[in-house]
Amino acid sequence: MHIREMLADAERTGAPSFSFEYFPPKTTQGVQNLYDRMERMNNFGPKFIDITWGAGGRIAELTCEMVVQAQTYLGLETCMHLTCTDMGEEKVNDALRKAYKAGCTNILALRGDPPREKEKWEAAEGGFRYARDLVQHIRKSYHEHFDIGVAGYPEGCDDNKDEDLLLDHLKEKVDAGATFIVTQMFYDADNFVRWVGKVRARGINVPIIPGIMPIATYASFLRRANHMNCKIPDEWMQRLEPVKNDDVAVRDIGKTLVAELCRKILAAGIHHLHFYTMNLAQATRMVLEELDWMPSPDRPVKQALPWKRSLGLG
């Protein structure tokens, strides 16, 4: 199912929905553990999951493998991230073919981060320069088969801090055929709502999915916020800093702050939230519990595992 249809459902019913992002682990055991966790976390009721794209060699192959496993065998509606980093056109086509064969119908099309050993991003020979070019290529090759999402930056992007220019480039991606936007993580709800207003004023009307990063420890909270250059509201620091050495207290206060952020986003008319799980369940589960969104006997999760059932696995 296309993500835009899931989002239209959420909008029609007014019932908020959410999705989870995972990344390919480094070890074989880590991959197996993650499949188990993905199945367990499916009981929380996400509408879909994303698998991020790891630049280069084995990690890129692993993204494809995980998409096949999640979509085909675990029966999870899966969105594959795909980047242009170190990818000639043939490699891009190979990844798309694998996703298509697995029954995956959603791609998040990105330019990608520079590979670890390089500071500056450079296009691969015979590859694409911008996410916009990748969107165009996917549309041209697969027409309407894939729903295509692109990245949005309410807090600015590493190699471009000019908000108006970033909005121009966002518009180009949507005009090229993208049908939804997923944002980077952020903690400043007011800034996000302001940014959404600017996006709409540009005539960009596709759904915007905010990226939510739950708080697991104080150190990881600070590290990720700094890495993404994302503003931390003063109140958050005032509440978290005094308990920074107590992980239990950090998670407890963190879940309240992040749930409050989610409520403000919903109040601004957004119906779907995307959780950066960092491959872990606890911090995301705590936020969902705080929002009272975890399935319960009166609100059972709608399990959609047709492939798994048809294979006699579920």
Q: Does 110 bind ligand FAD (CB under 6 A)?
A: yes
**What is d(CA 253, CA 27) in angstroms, rounded to the nearest whole number?**
32
Binding to ligand FAD (CB under 6 A) within 254-273 occurs at: none
Q: Does 2 bind ligand FAD (CB under 6 A)?
A: no
Contact 183, 193 (CB under 8 A): no
Phi, psi of 158 (to 5 degrees): -45, -50
Contact 79, 108 (CB under 8 A): yes
- Per the residue annotation, which of 5, 11, 21, 125 is the catalytic one? 21
Least distance to ligand FAD from the beta carbon of 313, Å?
A: 28
Q: Which of 46, 211, 214, 254 binds ligand FAD (CB under 6 A)?
A: 211
Least distance to ligand FAD from the beta carbon of 296, Å?
A: 30
Least distance to ligand FAD from the beta carbon of 273, Å?
A: 13
Q: Does the active-site annotation cover 144?
A: no
Residue placing its CB nearer to ligand FAD in the complex, 157 or 261: 157
| Best CA proximity match to 234, nearest among 168, 188, 276 | 188
Contact 7, 207 (CB under 8 A): yes
Least distance to ligand FAD from the beta carbon of 137, Å?
A: 13
The conformational region for residue 31 under phi > 0 = left, psi -120 to 50 = alpha, else beta, is: alpha
Binding to ligand FAD (CB under 6 A) within 270-299 occurs at: none
Site string for ligand FAD, 114-133 (x = CB under 6 A): ----------------xxx-
**What is d(CA 304, CA 310) in angstroms, rounded to the nearest whole number?**
12
For 93, half-sphere exposure in the C-beta direction (CA atoms, 13 angstrom radius) is: 7
Q: Which of 11, 94, 113, 163 binds ligand FAD (CB under 6 A)?
A: 113
Q: Which of 25, 46, 112, 177 binds ligand FAD (CB under 6 A)?
A: 112
Contact 86, 55 (CB under 8 A): yes
Least distance to ligand FAD from the beta carbon of 10, Å?
A: 18
* Helix runs in the chain, H state only: 3-13, 28-42, 57-68, 89-101, 131-142, 163-175, 189-201, 218-227, 234-240, 247-267, 282-290, 306-310
Task: Count the site residues for ligand FAD by CB under 6 A.
Answer: 27
CA angle 37, 40, 46 (to 5 degrees): 105
**What is d(CA 111, CA 118) in angstroms, rounded to the nearest whole number?**
15
**SS3 assignment, position 120:** coil
Q: Which stretch binds ligand FAD (CB under 6 A): 40-48, 163-171, 277-285, 298-306?
A: 163-171
**SS3 assignment, position 169:** helix
Binding to ligand FAD (CB under 6 A) within 69-98 occurs at: 81, 83, 85
Q: Count CB neighbours of 35 within 10 A.
A: 16
Q: Does 53 bind ligand FAD (CB under 6 A)?
A: yes
Site string for ligand FAD, 167-206 (x = CB under 6 A): --x--xx--------x-x----------------------
* Both tokens assigned to 8: 């239209």
Q: Does 106 bind ligand FAD (CB under 6 A)?
A: no
Q: Which stretch binds ligand FAD (CB under 6 A): 98-106, 154-162, 279-287, 288-296?
A: 154-162
Least distance to ligand FAD from the beta carbon of 160, Å?
A: 3
Catalytic residues: 21
Instruction: Using CB under 6 A, list all residues that contact ligand FAD.
Output: 52-53, 55, 81, 83, 85, 108, 110-113, 130-132, 151, 157-160, 165-166, 169, 172-173, 182, 184, 211
